[in-house]
Amino acid sequence: MLEVTPIRAFNDNYLWLINPEGSRDCAVVDPGDVAPVLETLKAKGMTLQAIVITHHHGDHTGGIGGLREKFDCPVYGPESPNIPSITHPLGDGDEISILGQTFQVMEIPGHTLDHIAYFAAGTEKSEPLLFCGDTLFAGGCGRVFEGTPPMMHASLQKLAALPAATRVYCAHEYTLANLAFARAVLPEDSLVSERISMEQHRRNQDIPTVPTTIAQEKATNPFLRCDDPMVIEAASRHSGQAAGSPEEVFGVIRRWKDEF
């Protein structure tokens, strides 16, 4: 069973430390900054055995060099010219074993073209895990920087098809801002309102709002509800013209969120 611990970095990033329960061997997901990772490893007396990368943005990759100066460990990530430090390039459908845990690699382009996610199926003793970088957020999704809205929508649908109990470890504390937008799209949705209250209570205590779950996102995240009549109506009202396919609805609300 893996333990997953957030390491806070920059203003709102979460770098994820993973280790088998009771073990001092660990891996880190998306280490954008070396200092907080080294501090955490020292405090916990752990040894870094692997670095796991979801995409090329600097707040996810900036600590690779500094960590490899201290630890001779593999760097798993997308096959991308933007991340020359990757030692084990990965693509859709690949399977890797990290610290005894098997992860399935999923290509999820949109935020960047090289974006991948790592999914670990659950067992009788543990729930499934997903490390999804900046594609799916608690209550929202990443900006479409390099791909297209249909591409991003398809990537989100791949993630939405994972088991409902999957714990979703995204890379930023954006939840309250995302849910404020969700309420603008779905002002009458009681589940969105209840979630805002719950997550605000957590943040008031400085508790991370992630991980979330696939079930919770499908219930309250408008970007996973682009076939929902209420989301379609909101998109059509905002754009001033009838929104058709889920991909079109996604495009409308993603542009709306960009300006929100």
Q: What are the catalytic residues?
A: 55, 57, 59-60, 111, 134, 172
Strand pairing report for 129-133 and 95-98:
unpaired
Close Cβ partners of 65 (under 8 Å, ≥ 6 residues apart)? 34, 85
Close Cβ partners of 149 (under 8 Å, ≥ 6 residues apart)? 110, 247, 250, 251, 254
Which two three-digit tokens encode residue 113?
Answer: 């073209």
Q: What distance in Å separates the CA atoms of residue 71 and residue 119, rounded to the nearest whole number?
A: 25
Q: What distance in Å separates the CA atoms of residue 48 and residue 31, rounded to the nearest whole number?
A: 12
Which two three-digit tokens encode residue 237?
Answer: 């009202």
Close Cβ partners of 41 (under 8 Å, ≥ 6 residues apart)? 26, 47, 48
Cβ proximity of 145 and 182 under 8 Å: no
Q: What distance in Å separates the CA atoms of residue 129 and residue 213, rounded to the nearest whole number?
A: 9
